[in-house]
Structure 1
Amino acid sequence: MEVRHCGWILCAALVLAGCDNEEPDAAPNDEPALQDAVAYVGRWAAEPAWCARGGEERAITISPSRFEGYENVCELEATQESENVWTGQLECSSEGTETSERIRMELEDHEAMTLTWLDRDDAQVSLMRCPLDE
């Protein structure tokens, strides 16, 4: 399932948390833990047309623990720096090559993100969230 806005998930989870007798931090075995519902999750693109395309110029997909782009898949371990900023460590596989690098994801109104490649001289790219129906 692709998540566009996580705010409603957090609200629903908080409401439901008050309705049962389980420990507050406990999550059912078949559901992701509340901390996995993070605002940067989704499909992101530098250009609106990339949301609907495949190939080199296409959207990237970010989940709580993965960062997937054109011909690469990265395991992502992210920590929250502030309300809308996360730093992440990427462990990537691309065309038989293993790499490791750091990124910063800064959200602006949950529809725009500045992605900073910390190990590439702080190179930045502006991304927009792709609509769910593309």
Structure 2
Amino acid sequence: MHNGKPVVLVVEDSPIIRMGAVDLVLLAGYEALEARDADEAIRILESRADIDLVFTDVQMPGTMDGLKLSHYIRDRWPPVKLIVASGNAILEESSLPAGSRFFPKPYNDHSILDAMARMLAS
């Protein structure tokens, strides 16, 4: 935790959706970081040891989608909490890393805030 605030990394290729998600994170009182794709997200995770939660989209350009990214993060940075969102895919909980949460898009801001608060409190 940086400045006593949880740090949330938003991974989303759509600038408008990313801005909305970052606003949501800031509104919740957390520090927000942002990445356009999985490769950028991994670079940020490698450079900072204070990321508490990653909020990622599934469909993204680049070497891996959000689902692969979430499994990669779970394997490499086990304590990092994961929230996965998708407008196209409805994912079974079993396809997600243990302990992560899935939300279909368009997601309800309150549901996301509630999930973040619960995950960051545990």
Q: TM-score, normalised by structure 2?
A: 0.30
Q: Could you say which structure has the larger radius of gyration?
A: 1
Higher helix share: 2
**Higher RCO, 1 vs 2 (CA within 8 Å, ≥6 residues apart):** 2
